């Protein structure tokens, strides 16, 4: 019976002489020009697969960006389902392989004409619909903590549970794929513990954000929204860890102020992430990421 083959890829881009270029690869097996992509390995997330496949096919180290869309097409008796992301080129050099013979950097308009498959063009169009150079803010709900009912000390001192600690490696890997540069957190032990590994990787301190605690957020939601906008306006890639009583309302407020539609019920599972993308202080895209 036919099944689905999961794959992931990216529109890899770089600034060049005041414009934007994207990378296309020529595959020997199919004699086609396409976007870098490949099948997921066992247990691999779509973002991890996109990041790995870009590295393997182009030699590039990238920082992931927003979700661009999904293509679906038949391969033999199966359907191949490919999720695509924007990915900014950081460094690295292409080396031809048995799978990919050539890489070309091209202006977006030229790349659209070079692509061999019509199914790739809407992905490139989705990339072009917004500015390439967006600010990324990863809004993280802290990982699982011990039971509040069984904790006898002050609640802000309640640490992560063993199950929460198991959530840290994939969160850490996700922050690395997005290229986290700065780390902020509500000053609660469970929040700081969630993002401390990310701060270690980035070589930066964890900046405490009192407004992002549930206790402070109530009655000061507008001030918290302004603080998030201030962090976004600094540019680059930031991580911000908060609580379940803050994140859904905060995401809704920021989206409403920017005219961006998000689900009426904003999810925020423990250990999950909202990847928010800004131009200046205006939110232009938002991806919800469930981390195992």
Q: Is 179 left (phi over 0), alpha (psi -120 to 50) or beta?
A: left
**101, 143, 253 from 191: Cα distances, Å:** 46, 8, 22
Spatial distance between the Cα atoms of 216 and 211, rounded to a whole number of angstroms? 5
CA neighbor of 267 nearest in space, from 284, 285, 244: 244
Q: Which domains does the chain have, with CATH numbers?
A: 4-128 (3.90.79.10), 135-289 (3.40.50.1240)
List the beta strands (DSSP E) in the chain: 4-16, 19-27, 32-34, 37-39, 61-75, 78-91, 100-107, 135-141, 182-185, 206-208, 237-242, 273-279, 282-289
**pLDDT tens-digit map of 217-257:** 999 999 999 999 999 999 999 999 999 999 999 999 999 99
**pLDDT tens-digit map of 165-188:** 999 999 999 999 999 999 999 999
What integer pLDDT is reported at residue 1 of this predicted model?
47
Cβ neighbours for 1, distance < 8 A, ≥ 6 positions apart: 77
- Dihedral, CA atoms, 168, 174, 179, 184, nearest 10 degrees? -50
What integer pLDDT is reported at residue 292 of this predicted model?
78
Mean pLDDT computed over 270-290: 97
Q: Which residues of 83-95 are buried (b: 16+ CB within 10 A; e: fewer)?
A: bbbbbbbeeeebe
pLDDT at 76 over 80: no
Question: Which of 73-82, 200-209, 274-283 shows the lowest per-residue confidence on average (mean pLDDT)?
Answer: 73-82
Cβ neighbours for 133, distance < 8 A, ≥ 6 positions apart: 15, 88
Mean pLDDT computed over 140-162: 88
What is the CB neighbour count within 10 angstroms for residue 263? 12
């Amino acid at each position: 019976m036919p099944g689905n083959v999961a794959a992931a890829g990216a529109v890899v881009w770089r600034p060049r002489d005041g414009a934007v270029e994207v990378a296309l690869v020529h595959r020997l097996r199919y004699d086609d020009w396409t976007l870098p992509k490949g099948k997921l390995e066992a247990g691999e997330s779509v973002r991890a697969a996109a990041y790995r496949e870009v590295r393997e096919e182009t030699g590039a180290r990238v920082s992931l960006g927003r979700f661009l869309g999904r293509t679906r097409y038949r391969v033999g008796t199966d359907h191949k389902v490919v999720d695509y992301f924007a990915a900014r080129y950081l460094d690295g050099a292409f080396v031809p392989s048995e799978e990919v013979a050539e890489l070309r950097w091209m202006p977006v308009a030229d790349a659209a004409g070079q692509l061999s498959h019509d199914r790739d063009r809407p992905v490139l169009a989705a990339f072009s619909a917004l500015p390439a150079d967006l600010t990324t803010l990863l809004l993280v709900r802290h990982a699982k903590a011990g039971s509040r009912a069984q904790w006898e000390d002050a609640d802000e001192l309640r640490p992560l549970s063993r199950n929460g600690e198991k959530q840290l490696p994939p969160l850490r890997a996700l922050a690395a794929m997005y290229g986290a540069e700065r780390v902020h957190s509500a000053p609660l032990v469970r929040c700081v513990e969630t993002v401390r590994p990310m701060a270690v990787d980035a070589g930066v301190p964890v900046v405490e954000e009192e407004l992002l605690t549930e206790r402070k957020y109530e009655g000061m939601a507008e001030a918290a929204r302004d603080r998030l906008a201030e962090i976004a306006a600094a540019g680059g890639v930031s991580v911000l860890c908060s609580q379940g009583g803050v994140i859904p309302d905060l995401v809704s407020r920021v989206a409403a102020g920017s005219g961006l539609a998000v689900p009426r019920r904003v999810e925020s599972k423990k250990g999950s992430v909202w990847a928010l993308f800004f131009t200046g202080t205006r939110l232009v895209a938002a991806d919800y990421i469930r981390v195992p």
